[in-house]
Amino acid sequence: MGLSYTEELVSEYFRHLTDEEGRPLYMVSEHVHFQAEETKKGVKGWKDIDILAIGKMKFV
């Protein structure tokens, strides 16, 4: 399934953030699947995160 309009905007926003040398600040993935833990309700199985942007924080 494709991205919604909002998901596409957010994904592209993080994809285009770069440092002073033009290197990307974030690694961006769409529809990242993960296996959910069992809860009190017994909910278990595979879920997905619509957009995952991972970057290195800079503290000055």
* pLDDT, tens only, 17-58: 998 899 899 999 988 888 877 777 766 777 788 888 888 766
Q: The domain containing residue 10 runs over which residues?
A: 5-55
Q: Which residues lie closer than 8 Å to 18 by C-beta, 6 or more apart? A: 24, 25
For residue range 1-20, what is the model confidence (pLDDT) as tens digits?
Answer: 677 889 899 999 999 999 88
**46 is a domain residue:** yes
**60 is a domain residue:** no
> pTM for the full model?
0.65
Dig out the tokens for 11 from the structure. 């994904």
Q: What is the Cα–Cα distance from 58 to 27, expressed in whole angstroms?
A: 15
- Can you list the pairs that 12-21 forms with residues at least 24 positions away whose Cβ atoms lie under 8 Å? 14/51, 14/53, 14/55, 17/55
Task: Tell me if residue 5 falls in helix, strand or coil.
Answer: helix
Quote the number of domains for the chain: 1
